[in-house]
Amino acid sequence: MSITIKVPAVGESITEVTIGQWFKNDGDFVEMDEVLCELESDKATFELTAEAAGILHTKADEGDSLEIGAVICEIDPDASEDAPSNAPATENTAPSEPPAESPKQTGEVKEMHVPTVGESITEVTLATWLKEDGDYVALDDIIAEVDSDKATFELPAESSGILRHVAQEGDTLEIGGLICRIEETDGAPTEESHTPAASETSEGKATNNTGKETYASGHASPAAAKILSEKGIDSNAVTGTGKDGRITKEDALKAEASKPAAAATKPATTDKSKQAEQPEAPQKSGMRNSRREKMTSLRKTISRRLVAVKNETAMLTTFNEVNMKPIMDLRKQYKDKFKERYEVNLGFMSFFTKAACIALQEWPAVNAQIDGNEIVYHDFCDVSIAVSSPKGLVVPVIRNAEQLSFAEIEKEVVRLAIKAREGKLTIDEMTGGTFTLTNGGIFGSMMSTPIINAPQAAILGMHNIVERPMAVNGEVKILPMMYLALSYDHRIIDGRESVSFLVRVKELLEIPLAYC
């Protein structure tokens, strides 16, 4: 007995919907929960899923408007997956060549769930599908990128077969949530049988595999239609970049109304003096577009944590300045030999890291953290380095920095910075720091008050180097000076510890030969 599927209720004020696009054809075998078609209301777009597995029999076509509760299709659960299509061949149909063999489905469906990516991570965001719905994927093919609040991970296929998306790009999923299914097959498809579902016509509109334009071609989504209406733009004048040529909201936002025809020439008898008295407003040209982008999980987590630090800590900042001439002279003298011997540049970060480690061991409260009603003191220095990546600020950690040489610190800084820019940092590389260094000076910052990287108790901010007149032994000298800023949690670090720590860092930076 066939199962009747009706248009579901999609909102209190919505009385009818339009079939935007069928993803399955009449006579196709469908799996339970597989997306059958796309329904559009005047407010949003919805997906209709199969309520059972079986042969699909459509009752409405793309573009039809149906009332809520109307029959949209039927599914015959008793029919075999191998049953022939219900479209009979006509007698005068010319015989065609046998189609290329496609991979035979085994009937097994592999469900892929969001894997565990870290102890403290409870949800992830599906950033990008690297394989399209319906594509054939081989075992271990990378099919998607997943963002957590700390890093980006690649999702490999857990079996070979036809990929079926369950989650969409931008969806937030809990650990263990269903992200996709793979309909397992025996072997890979041939080049002839693995044809795309849609192609581009010479006019730029999407067509299906029969060469005909689909309903979606040049059709505006509800949000796009509203924007085009407000702008007074005909949808026929807009090229859609969405699936099958659909006009998306972004297309509508970028669309511009055609410029009005030039004003008719005024008669020669017009009084020039009156024109001078009533000048026309100057014509302004240029774009005034705006755009909205959904916040990534990383950006949302950064926002949440920074606000939490401001609200949950007694944060203060103390300042000092350091004469960078001794370090600059030392680098100038040894940078070529250092690069030749260790194959890495001698930068400022190694000097600051070593100086901070020495000062942290002398003032352990700055290297501690609060855990409930206890203070945890660390005998080691895991120094976090703030790095600006394309997806936001990340803070990888240099483990046991107090035991590393200058060359080892510089190599670790370079390694972590490259992985940060490529989005390949692991959870272990970004957790467990005891103290943080941040260098706003590379962007030209003169002075700032850095925010503590919780649950740490302090962060040292470096700034740009500026030549300033300084009084030295009763004489005025021009020296390269840098402001240092130490933000600290006053619940655990008193003024004595914070100021003494920063003064000690200043002393060490101005006599680098003492610890090089």
- How far from chain centre, in Å, is Cα 500? 42
Contact 41, 20 (CB under 8 A): no
DSSP 3-state of 242: coil
Catalytic, 165? Answer no
Bridge partners (DSSP) of residue 421 are: none
Nearest one of 189, 171, 199 to 47, comparing CA atoms: 171
- How far apart CA 487 and CA 458 sit, in angstroms, is 6
Catalytic, 494? Answer yes
- Of all helices (H) and strands (E), which one includes residue 352? helix 348-362
Q: For residue 482, give both structure tokens.
A: 């840098």
Contact 443, 424 (CB under 8 A): no
Contact 339, 480 (CB under 8 A): no
- Of all helices (H) and strands (E), which one includes residue 322? strand 315-323
Reduce the secondary structure of 436-469 to three states and give it as a string.
EEEEHHHHCCCCCCCCCCCCECEEEEEEEEEEEE
- How far from chain centre, in Å, is Cα 190? 34
> To which residue do tokens 């100086």 refer?
355
Longest dimension (CA), the chain: 109
- How far apart CA 236 and CA 216 sit, in angstroms, is 12
Side chain identity at residue 12, one-letter code:
E
Q: What are the CA-CA distances from residue 436 to residues 67, 387, 484 (Å)?
A: 60, 11, 13
DSSP 3-state of 335: helix
Nearest one of 313, 316, 368 to 485, comparing CA atoms: 316
Q: Active-site positions?
A: 490, 494
